[in-house]
Structure 1
Amino acid sequence: MRNHPRPHDLLFLRLPDRFDTGGDWPAWLDAAWLTQAPLVVRREAAPGSLLPVGARGLTRSERCKGYVQRDAVVRCVTPEMLARLHPPTVHTVHSVQAGECQSDLPPLRALAAMAPRLKELGLVWGPTGGAGFYLASGLPVLRADSDLDLLLRAPAPLPAWLIDCLLRLQEQQDCRVDIQVDTGAGGFALNEYARGGRVLLKTAHGPVLAADPWHAPEVQREAA
């Protein structure tokens, strides 16, 4: 596992009971679920060997924040690893439940359509959200109305022509596509940046409004 997992990485646990919510687990969550469902790394500063993570269930309402010790993690799957799957397939030892194959749903169709073009552009990117979770675990969390969430690593400002290309690529899909840009110091929505003005930059120390998300003086760069 990378020494410093980054936001949106998916962590599989060897010790599921080490997921700490600061209280009782919600009714939908148990150790059996966490033996097959990864935790999602959150963008938050945490002390020592603690990792800020979130659990998700099968429905949108099933979300739970918490923390886990690094030594409880057995495997880390990054968005970039999932982007290398061509065509998108379930990259895991876990199997999708019988009758719940989701490969024809709009988010995965959009991912298959966009992946070759994103590769041609030389971008460092990967699926997150429900699509990333499904590809890493095989668990049927996607719905016909699910968005496709993508993460784009961009340590330097994106040229205008590339932003235009990405926006056009988004518009050509038959589901909503949300591209989050990660500068290394925080993350922001590409659509919001394209509209002009200040953007909401999500950082490990809280949200910041920034006119230039790559050069916000009050933001500390996160560990790579």
Structure 2
Amino acid sequence: MGRAVSPHDLLRLGPDTPAFADAPAWVAASLERAPFVVVRRAYDLEGRIAVGIRGAVRSERFGSWIDPVHVREVLSPEVLRMKKPCSTRAALAAFRLLGTITPICDSSGYAWGPAGSVGFELASGCPTVTDTSDLDLVMRAPEPLSRSIAKKLFDALSAAALEHKTRIDVQIETCEGAFSLAEFARSGAHVMLRSADGVKLVTDPWQASRTA
């Protein structure tokens, strides 16, 4: 595979990938249409990768595991931000918002990129984004981010989303897990951190041992 993977990375599977055990009927059709899965946040002692498979509708989501030998390509959110949507799709609100917020996110100094339906469509070329799709972003913050800077970033991104009449959701990734920029930007002392061990309430998402 060539490198370690991180949550939100999209993996292109090879044609020799075996069928997923206990998968619902829609999974095979979905992978035939677009052989991509997204990395989930979970551990496996056997070296497998936790992945999620998306179907044609929001209710179709399936979690499973994959041997790294079947991965042909890894596309991180940081890579996907450099890709452009098909010209016939670029007018969708989520794609337009992505273009608008690019300089805002770049100025933060953090690595970032799209996830969710926008990331999936940019990776696979399969039409996934709709008129009502949110823009999901991942921002890597290995070093602590102050609440004041987080609020400025959140306010700027929210204003851009409002202008495009859509919504934006930003997940901040640390070495401990991920948390919502919107939640962190508020004045509360605690934040919900999503890690491979589950969800926990913490005071410092860069030091998950400091829990409530």
Do the two structures share a fold, i.e. TM-score over 0.5?
Answer: yes
TM-score (norm 1): 0.84
Matched, 1:214 2:212: no
Matched, 1:122 2:113: no
Provide the aligned C-alpha RMSD in A: 2.1
Q: Number of aligned pairs? A: 206
Q: Is the CA contact 1:103–1:109 (under 8 Å) kept in the aligned structure 2?
A: yes
Matched AA of 1:10: L
SS, match of residue 184 in structure 2: helix
Change (3 A) 1:32 1:170: closer
Aligned to 1:44: 42
1:81-108 CA deviation, whole Å, 9 max, x = no partner?
A: 01223xx336xxxxx9xxxx42211111
Deviation, structure 1 residue 16: 5.7
Deviation, structure 1 residue 183: 0.4
Q: Is the CA contact 1:150–1:180 (under 8 Å) kept in the aligned structure 2?
A: yes
1:116-136 CA deviation, whole Å, 9 max, x = no partner?
A: 221233221010000000100
Change (3 A) 1:200 1:113: same
Deviation, structure 1 residue 19: 5.1
How far, CA to CA, are the matches of 1:171 and 1:142 in structure 2?
Answer: 19
How far, CA to CA, are the matches of 1:12 and 1:217 in structure 2?
Answer: 35
Deviation, structure 1 residue 2: 4.4
Aligned to 2:93: 106
Aligned to 2:176: 185
How far, CA to CA, are the matches of 1:182 and 1:2 in structure 2?
Answer: 22
Matched, 1:156 2:148: no
How far, CA to CA, are the matches of 2:144 and 2:68 in structure 1?
Answer: 32
TM-score (norm 2): 0.89
**Residue pairs, 1:2-41, within 5 angstroms:** 2-15=2-15, 17-18=17-18, 20=20, 22-23=21-22, 25-30=23-28, 33-34=31-32, 36-41=34-39
Change (3 A) 1:142 1:32: closer
Of 67, 82, 95, 1:69 maps to 67
Matched AA of 2:3: N
Change (3 A) 1:156 1:34: farther
Change (3 A) 1:189 1:19: farther
Q: Which runs of 5+ in 2 are unaligned?
A: none
How far, CA to CA, are the matches of 1:141 and 1:175 in structure 2?
Answer: 16
Indicate the percent of aligned positions where both proteins have the same amino acid. Answer: 36
SS, match of residue 27 in structure 2: coil
Matched AA of 2:190: R
1:7-57 CA deviation, whole Å, 9 max, x = no partner?
A: 00000111464353x41x212221673462310000011122210000001
Aligned to 1:170: 157
Aligned to 1:138: 125
Aligned to 1:83: 81
How far, CA to CA, are the matches of 1:152 and 1:116 in structure 2?
Answer: 14
Change (3 A) 1:18 1:197: farther
Matched AA of 1:189: S
Q: Is the CA contact 2:117–2:128 (under 8 Å) kept in the aligned structure 1?
A: yes
SS, match of residue 131 in structure 1: helix
Q: Which runs of 5+ in 1 are unaligned?
A: 91-95, 220-224
How far, CA to CA, are the matches of 2:26 and 2:34 in structure 1?
Answer: 14
